[in-house]
A and B are shown apart, each in its own frame.
Chain A
Amino acid sequence: MGLLTILKKMKQKEREMRLLMLGLDNAGKTTILKKFNGEDVSTISPTLGFNIKTLEHRGFKLNIWDVGGQKSLRSYWRNYFESTDGLVWVVDSADRLRLEDCRKELSSLLLEERLAGATLLVFANKQDLPGALSKEAIQEALALDEIKSHHWCIIGCSAVTGKNLLAGVDWLLDDIAARIFTID
């Protein structure tokens, strides 16, 4: 292996990002992943385990991990923390009943040492539903303004229509890239 090969490999590695998508069950994590990847979203089942997708976007190679949000799976979330560049927290904006659960789960995640360096993107999903709370309401309910440990941003989106998914991911990429990559 010549020096050039090594350099090329390093360069490739450098353009790779690992994104971890978490949230309560029924938040729409898998739907976001599939919609972003241009797949059919009408037949998605509750995730038993996890999905991983590798896709190219803006010249970056994104490894997106979508882990099931059922209560019985949440204790396994920690197995996916290692070397995560970006955390995508997905919220069902219409699920008022469990916003408090949602806040607690998120705040306990943010205490995780292995996620300390990760950028946080909150997707206030299901904005297409008439009963959905606005992203401002979600921001308040999740007490996002109290987060000082991570770069964060909240974006209202709809996984079903695909609205704002790109905007969210673009913000996430920009933030991570500014943090970990040397600009060419």
Chain B
Amino acid sequence: MEAMAEHSRETRVTGESVADKIQERLQKRHQARAEDAERKKEAKESQSVAEEKSEYFASTFNAEQASIEELLSSCSGADRTVVTQTLEEATVKTLQLQKFLNDSILFLTQYELRRAQDALQKLLASSAEIREEALPKKKFAFRARSKATDKVSAPPVIDTPAGTGSTKVVGAPAESLQCCFSNMDNVCLIKTAEDIHKQDVLLTHLNNCKVRLFGSPSTLHMTHINNCEILCGPVSSSVFVDQCSNSTLAIPCQQLRTHNTTDTQVYLHVTSRAIVEDCHGVHFAPFTWSYPTLDEDFIVSGLDRDRNNWSQVDDFNWLAAGTPSPNWNVIPEAERKTNWEL
């Protein structure tokens, strides 16, 4: 019993103190809540910047817009460089304004947003208009750089060496191997088989000459020939004709390469092909000249007597297949030369 009484007293005592404590705790909690609310309010206030207000936005935006418009209007009638500069500045400002609008989207109403976007659009349009007016862009067009000018610029590199350097003969040691006629007028030139056998024969700067080469040279070069009659035995490789005019040639060879030649008749036996380049009025007929040792010379040259492509001429300046080149033709049979007497 005693123990019970004591217990109840004790409970009473504690009961009182518990009530006190609760009171106190409630108080504390209330205070904390108040403080918390205060803190939150403060935090909220610190977060919400002054700019986050539509009035602030509107005023700033309008001011900026006005300044850009002013910049743009100052462009009319100004100097080209000034206009360029001002436009540059206006563009930068417009871009900044656009960014400002983008940053403010969160707190703007739909209406404000649309109005601002319209204003920006207008600014961009008018700046583009001014740019177009003051600094017209070059209209795009293909430039008139024709192929013709291209071609004109290319050849000189190639042409010059032919004109200047081609007469230079390099390498003296083997000179004796070359048989040469040059700078002659109105003469009759004859070479026999021993003179030209397997040699390179060179004929240059001949005028009104008659040339007979009996025998089989290795190659034959003819340059600057005018009004001549040149007959030659079988040439085992190529014949070069360059700068030849008003002449008659008769040659068997493996290849004939004709350049810069005009009004010349060629009585030809060619086992591969003849070509013309930069020529005009070159006339071809089959080779008909004959002399006593021709057969032997054919054997020496190694040319095939049964293969003659004299009428198959490639014109390097006439690449149109199907249409014949106007630069060469075949001599009609009736007009061919048959008498080769000196």
Interface residues of A (CB under 8 A from B): 25-26, 42-46, 48, 70-75, 94, 96-101, 104-105, 108, 129-133, 137, 141
Interface residues in B71-87 by Cβ distance below 8 A to A read none
Q: Give the number of chain B interface residues (Cβ < 8 Å).
A: 44
A57 and B257 alpha carbons, distance in the complex (Å): 33
- What B residues does A25 contact at CB under 8 A? 257
Contacts A71-B278, A97-B169, A141-B170: A131 and B161 contacting too (C-beta < 8 A)?
Answer: no
Q: How far is the CA of A131 from the CA of B238 in the complex (A)?
A: 14
Tell me the smallest distance from the CB of B226 to a CB of chain A, in Å. Answer: 19
Supposing A74-B158, A75-B158, A97-B166 touch, asked if A43 and B272 sit within 8 A by C-beta, the answer is yes
B221 interfacial contact with A, CB 8 Å? yes
Nearest CB in chain B: distance from A72 CB, A: 4
Give 29 pairs: A residue, B residue, CB < 8 Å, sorted on A.
A26-B240, A26-B257, A42-B304, A45-B275, A48-B314, A70-B316, A71-B259, A71-B278, A71-B316, A75-B151, A97-B166, A97-B168, A97-B202, A98-B166, A99-B168, A99-B170, A100-B170, A101-B161, A104-B161, A104-B165, A108-B157, A129-B200, A129-B218, A130-B174, A130-B177, A131-B174, A131-B199, A133-B171, A137-B170
User: Known contacts being A45-B273, A71-B158, A74-B158, is A97 close to B167, with CB within 8 Å?
Assistant: yes
Known: A44-B272, A101-B162, A133-B174. A73 touches B316 (CB 8 A): yes
Whole-angstrom CA separation of A13 from B277 in the bound complex: 39
Residues B161 and A105 in contact, CB atoms below 8 Å apart: yes
Complex Cα distance A46/B273, Å?
Answer: 7
| Known pairs A26-B255, A73-B316; A101 contacts B278 (CB<8 A) | no
Q: A45-B255, A46-B255 are in contact. Are A130 and B199 (CB under 8 A)?
A: yes
Q: How far is the CA of A25 from the CA of B166 in the complex (A)?
A: 14
Chain B residues near A44 (CB-CB < 8 A): 255, 272
B316 in complex: contacting residue of A72, A130, A137, CB < 8 Å: A72
A94 to B221, CA, bound (A): 12
Instruction: Give the one of B219, B257, B271 with max A CB within 10 A.
Output: B219
A137 → chain B, closest Cβ, in Å?
5
Q: Establish whether residues A46 and B275, one from each chain, have CB atoms under 8 Å apart when the complex forms.
A: yes
- Min CB–CB distance A101 → chain B (angstroms): 4
Given A94-B200, A104-B165, 18 more contacts at CB 8 Å?
Answer: A26-B240, A26-B255, A43-B271, A45-B255, A46-B273, A48-B319, A70-B316, A94-B218, A97-B166, A98-B166, A100-B166, A104-B160, A104-B161, A105-B158, A129-B200, A131-B174, A133-B170, A141-B170
Please indicate which of the listed interface residues A25, A96, A133 has the most CB atoms of chain B within 10 Å of its own CB: A96
* Chain A residues within 8 Å of B272, by CB: 43-46
Contact: B171 with A141, CB < 8 Å? yes
Q: Which residues from chain A contact B162 at a C-beta distance below 8 Å? A: 71, 101
- Which one, A70, A73, A96, A108, contacts B169 given CB within 8 A? A96
Interface centre among B161, B221, B257, B317 (most CB of A within 10 A): B161
- Please measure, in the bound complex, the distance between the C-alpha atom of A41 and the C-alpha atom of B319, giving whole angstroms: 25
Q: Please name all residues of chain A whose beta carbon is closer than 8 Å to the beta carbon of B151 when the two chains form the complex.
A: 75
The interface centre, meaning the residue of A71, A74, A101, A104 with most chain B CB atoms within 10 A of its CB, is A71
For the complex, what is the distance from the CA of A141 to the CA of B169, rounded to whole Å?
A: 11
Q: In whole angstroms, how far apart are the Cα atoms of A101 and B168 in the complex? A: 10
Q: Scoring B residues 295 to 315 as 1 if CB is less than 8 Å from chain A, else 0, what string do you get? A: 000000000100100000010
Tell whether, in the assembled complex, residue B165 and residue A48 are in contact, meaning their CB atoms are under 8 Å apart: no
Whether A131 lies near B257 (C-beta < 8 A) is: no
Q: Which residues of A contact B161 (CB under 8 A)?
A: 100-101, 104-105
Q: List residues of chain A with CB within 8 A of the CB of B307.
A: 43
Bound: A179/B218 CA distance, A: 41
Return chain A residues, CB-CB under 8 Å to B165.
100-101, 104
Most chain B Cβ neighbours within 10 Å, of A43, A45, A105, A132: A45
Q: Once bound together, how far apart are the Cα atoms of A64 and B102, in whole Å? A: 63
**In the complex, A26→B165 CA distance in Å?**
18
Write out the residue numbers on chain B whose beta carbons fall within 8 Å of the beta carbon of A99. Answer: 168, 170-171
Contact code string B168-181 (vs A, CB < 8 Å = 1, else 0):
11110110011000
